[in-house]
Amino acid sequence: MVFRELGKARFIWLLAALVSAVACSALASEPESTGALAVSMAHRMMMLVLQLGAMLFAARLGNMAFERMRLPGVLGELCSGIVIGPYALGRLMIPGFPDGLFPEFFMKLAGGGQELRFVVSPELYGICMLAAVILLFLVGLETDLKLFLRYSVVGSLVGLGGVLASFVSGDLLGVWLLPWVVPGAYTVVSPSCVFLGVMSTATSVSITARILSEKKKLDSPEGVTILAGAVIDDVLGIIMLAIGMGVIATAGASASRGTDWVSIGKIAAQSIGIWLAATIVGVLSARKIGTFLKGMGGHDEIAILALGLALIVSGLFEKAKLSMIIGSYVMGLSLSRTDISHMVREHLQPVFSLLVPVFFVVMGMMVDVQLLLEPKILLFGLLYTAVSVAAKMVGCGLPTFLCGFNARGALRVGVGMVPRGEVALIIAGIGLSAGFLSKEVFGVAVLMTLLTTMTAPPLLVVAFKRKGEGMRPGYGKPIAAAAPPVVYTFPNEEVASLLVNSLMQCLGQEGFFAHALSISEGLYQARKDDIVISIRRSGNMIAFEAPPDAEPVIRLMMIEVIVEFEQTLEELRKPLGAELHRELSDSELTSMSRRQTLARYLTQDAMIPGLKGTTKEAVIEELIAVLANLGWVKDPAAALANAVKRENAMSTGLRHGIACPHARTESVDRLICAVGLKAEGVNFHALDEQPSRVIILTLCPAASAAPYMEFMSSAMSVLHEEKTLNELASARTSGEMFRALTKGVQKK
């Protein structure tokens, strides 16, 4: 198929098409002449390219700087946007750009002719919103719906308590303080107040999860409760956004005749109904959607089509007067239980890494730092942050008392739910672009996000430093003990890696959707319906984590893979043995030139006529010791470990009593060789099952090229001569050994 012949470059074409569509739609809306439009399009496309380049550089530098300070990288991207935005360095005049690289943008609204000022151009903001849709799609894919259902009671209490407390406190704080900051009349259904409430509900537990992981508390009662509560919190936060958009629309329509609570209730019920119906349909049809996508081609095609579905659903939700991000989250949540979810996330990572930093940078650009530093607005931001922190701690902490937690545990759960993150910023961006939020209120929201994300980790560390359980006596842990992993240990890392690759193929043949989560960390996963098998390869060990009923499947597959591996290895030995010991023709190398090659690397001082070792490990150690005494091996222990590891991977015993152990190692700077004789032979598991009497050890540098194959082909060719082999085997001194291998060369 043509689809399968195209690689991951398809993502670049998809991105280019989306960017072009966004830009062209924005440009086409301008009532300009054809010539003027062409000039404007060329100029704005040039500006877009330059801006994206600068933003990507700034985002990456900010991300790296904050991660080195052990702070979330997204905060670095956000701060980078503040620095390079039109309220800071972005408006500085530079040669060729009198208005700066990031000038403010003015656009007339359709119809009335009112001119509004925007921080970024429509095309750049369109890319930003596209990134928000992709981000929420991936958030939905990462949602652990199984955890949501399994711990729905405690998680629902914690999530619901946190959302209600945060929304109510944020909304009421807006009613109380907004007239002081932005003069006007505000009620609980005013757009700014509603968004202040909704923005404070969203929880980002990525930072909390990192702290819990470092403290080994992810499987503690508090850890599981926080993770389960965060899942419900995200779901409820999306619902609150849907309700809020409906409430704002109804309140605006009925502003002239007062608050119509009946209409607001209907809109809220309608918003919940649309969200709930779409989610139920999506979850119930997820398996069929997954099957359909898997039938369309390879992994690239599946990921692209899944993203396409997410964009379509997002557009339909916007058409239904709900936010696009709600639709993308619903699509991600629907696919989260399918066996393609991890693969889609993995293949969309390049798009995520490219676009999502742009989103955070744009969010930072919208912050007017000078305005935010005004005393009234700064005080409002600090109060809003304090109320948001207190609301989460109280709203999420109090319900835990109903589930057996004590005060210590309730505090830990409450602090763990404090950080806000990307969802809060997306909601704030939607409010600003729709005209529901002023620049002052948007800056307050960004300040709250920054402060809660930065203060929560140290608070959580302090909360867990206090010794003691978080549960009251008599209450068990809310989670069941995980089944012990099934662990297999193999001779070396190479064998384990080969077996994992074979196992992934075997699982695929059995109907599992098997894929790598992280090749660098050795993490793999196989899914089939509700069966999830996690595989970790660490060094020479392979560990499986799976439900108890899946253990027989794992053990049978491992037996099958190992048997097949042994059969393959046995078949490989046959042609290798014949090829290694085939007599080389004189047209390839003359006998003298072969001996000259050996003479370049052999020395009489590195030959042992009577080896003392009785095992191949002991013989290898003895030969390395000779080379070390000559000063050629910097770290004999490391060289020995490398040689033994290579020997264990596949024995180097050949036919006719010859063995050629070898290794690449950092302990040598050039190819070196030692030769030893053992009259009674040593078991090197030779191809003809005979003991090896002539052992040629070769060490090569690991980081540079060395002519090992040239040397070994010359050695095998010389030793294939029966007369030379007999002379070498009967040698009694190192000099006789050297002369047997280099006969005629030393006389010149």
Q: Which residues are catalytic?
A: 662
Q: How far is CA 658 from the centre of its chain?
A: 48
- Angle, helix 439-465 to helix 73-84, in steps of 10 degrees: 150
- Give Cα 215 to chain centroid, integer Å: 21
Side chain identity at residue 593, one-letter code: S
Neighbours of 537 (CB within 10 A): 22
Cα distances (angstroms) measured from residue 557 to each of 14, 505, 510, 531: 39, 11, 10, 15
d(CA 330, CA 315): 12
Structure tokens that stand for 189 in this block: 């259904």
Q: Vertex 617, ends 615 and 618: CA angle to 5°?
A: 65
Per-residue DSSP letters for 184-217?
Answer: S---TTSHHHHHHHHHTT----HHHHHHHHHTT-
Beta 541-545 vs 607-608: how paired, if at all?
A: unpaired
Written as six digits, the tokens of 27 are 């440009």
d(CA 150, CA 224): 11
* 253 contacts: CB under 8 Å, gap ≥ 6: 263
Torsion sign, CA atoms 184, 185, 188, 194: negative
- Count the alpha carbons within 13 Å of 570 in the hemisphere toward its beta carbon: 6
Q: Considering only CA atoms, which of 168, 152, 205 is closest in space to residue 412?
A: 205
Tell me how far apart the alpha carbons of residues 408 and 240 are, in angstroms, rounded to a whole number: 30
Measure the CA dihedral 552/553/556/561, to 10°: -150
- Alpha carbon distance 667, 637 (integer Å): 9
Whether 351 contacts 145, CB under 8 Å = no
Other beta carbons less than 10 A from residue 645's beta carbon: 16
DSSP annotation of 653: B
Three-state DSSP at 392 gives: helix
C-alpha angle 628-633-637 in degrees, rounded to nearest 5: 85
Q: Which helix (H) or strand (E) holds 298?
A: none
SS3 (DSSP) at 349: helix
DSSP letter for each residue of 82-146? HHHSTTTGGGS-BTTBTT-SS--EEEEPTTT--EEEESS-HHHHHHHHHHHHHHHHHHHHH--HH
The tokens describing 187, both together, are 């009620």
According to DSSP, the residues that pair with 542 across neighbouring strands are 488, 537
